[in-house]
Amino acid sequence: MKYTKPHLPYEKQADQLLERGLIADRAELIQKLSQVSYYRLSGYWFPFRDFPGEQFKPNTSLDEIWNRYAFDRRLRFHLLDGIERIEVYIRSRLTYEFTFQHGAFGYLEAKNFPGILPSEHHKLIVKIEKEVLRSSETFIEHFNKKYQDSHPLPPLWMVAELFSFGTMLSLLRGVNANVRKPIADDLNLDTSVLLSWIRSLNGVRNMCAHHGRIWNRQFGDKPIIPRKDNDWKTPVQIRNDRVFGILTVIKYCLNTIVPQSQWPMRFRELLDGFSNIPMNQMGFPMNWEDCPIWKI
């Protein structure tokens, strides 16, 4: 089947939405469509469509749709803030444990990465080489000037500062289990759960960085819920396929990493500022604040 939908000027896009029952000021609607795009905004009005047709449900307004868009934008910022704290912590601990066991340049040897194939390790090193070449960091320039005749790449604690979240995940996945275990122990997690969480957070971070819709998304790469920890089940059952599960993973980690963090308070302020957002579509149970993880 051929895709035949034509390009429409903003004015015609707005008229089409108004004809379908959207309540909006036409001039404001045209402005919003030019700011965000029809297709992007359609993800936020999708729940308001009166299926199986294209019409909107009665009394659907642009204000309500835009409110959800604005909430999602704020939610992405909040997720990125929490994930950054965890990323920096895991990178720091991973660098410490790895160099303690394998030395400053042990990351150059494929034998120290039994969790990935040698070809994957080679790709990892090539990626690191590119990051080092691209870097204008003073500490990299200083190292190259002083030590490059003996070392083609800086020690791990330097190059780790250039890592993307994905590169850090590759390292975490590839190292010996005895490197991961102290980090997992810090968080009172099994190593398999830790890997699952970091992988899921990496996916969410990428969605946020690319401005993807988060608030009512059903995630495919789900974090493992710890089986032996009743805080995840009683009195609140935590779902792992919606954003509340991701938020709870972040809250759990921050309880250990930075227990004094104001991140939970800022999240409650965000919810208070958008009180008409349907919480159930984010995976929030009715009694979510009774969850012991959120009470700490």
For the stretch 194-243, pLDDT in tens is 999 999 999 999 999 999 999 999 999 999 999 989 999 999 999 999 99
Domain range annotation of the chain: 10-60, 70-295
CA angle 108, 110, 114 (to 5 degrees): 135
Q: What is the pLDDT of residues 19-66, one digit of tens each?
A: 999 999 999 999 999 999 999 999 999 999 998 889 999 999 999 999
Structural tokens at position 95: 């660098």
Burial class (CB in 10 A: 0-12, 13-18, 19+), 104: middle
Stretch 153-174: mean pLDDT: 95
Whole-number pLDDT of residue 224: 97
- Which residue type sits at 151? H
Helix ranges (DSSP H) in the chain = 10-19, 26-36, 38-45, 62-102, 118-134, 138-147, 156-159, 165-174, 177-186, 191-209, 243-257, 263-273, 292-295
pLDDT of 296 over the 80 cut: no
Of 261, 251, 269, nearest to 74 by C-alpha is 269
Q: Could you give the CA distance from residue 171 to residue 62 in angstroms, rounded to a whole number?
A: 45
pLDDT of 248 over the 90 cut: yes
Q: What is the pLDDT of residues 109-160, one digit of tens each?
A: 999 999 999 999 999 999 999 999 999 999 999 999 999 889 999 999 999 9
What is the 8-class DSSP label of residue 220? S
Q: Could you give the CA distance from residue 89 to residue 83 in angstroms, rounded to a whole number?
A: 10
Whole-number pLDDT of residue 39: 94
Q: Could you give the CA distance from residue 178 to residue 191 in angstroms, rounded to a whole number?
A: 10
Identify the band that residue 3 occupies on the pLDDT scale cut at 50, 70 and 90: confident
pTM score, whole prediction = 0.94
Whole-number pLDDT of residue 51: 86
Whole-number pLDDT of residue 53: 87
**Contact indicator for 295, 289 with CB cutoff of 8 Å:** yes
pLDDT of 254 over the 80 cut: yes
Of 178, 181, 155, 159, nearest to 168 by C-alpha is 159
Residue with tokens 């009512």: 216
CA distances to 96, 106, 110, 112 from 103, in Å: 10, 5, 14, 11
Q: Could you give the 3-state DSSP secondary structure of residue 165?
A: helix
Identify the band that residue 272 occupies on the pLDDT scale cut at 50, 70 and 90: very high
Tell me if the bond preceding 154 is cis, omega within 30° of 0.
no
Of 153, 193, 178, nearest to 101 by C-alpha is 178
**Contact indicator for 74, 151 with CB cutoff of 8 Å:** no
Quickly list DSSP for 21-74.
T-B--HHHHHHHHHHH-HHHHHHHHGGGB-TTSSPBPTT-BHHHHHHHHHHHHH
Stretch 179-196: mean pLDDT: 97
Q: What is the pLDDT of residues 90-103, one digit of tens each?
A: 999 999 999 999 99
Whole-number pLDDT of residue 22: 97
Whole-number pLDDT of residue 5: 86
Whole-number pLDDT of residue 148: 87
Q: Could you give the CA distance from residue 271 to residue 129 in angstroms, rounded to a whole number?
A: 43
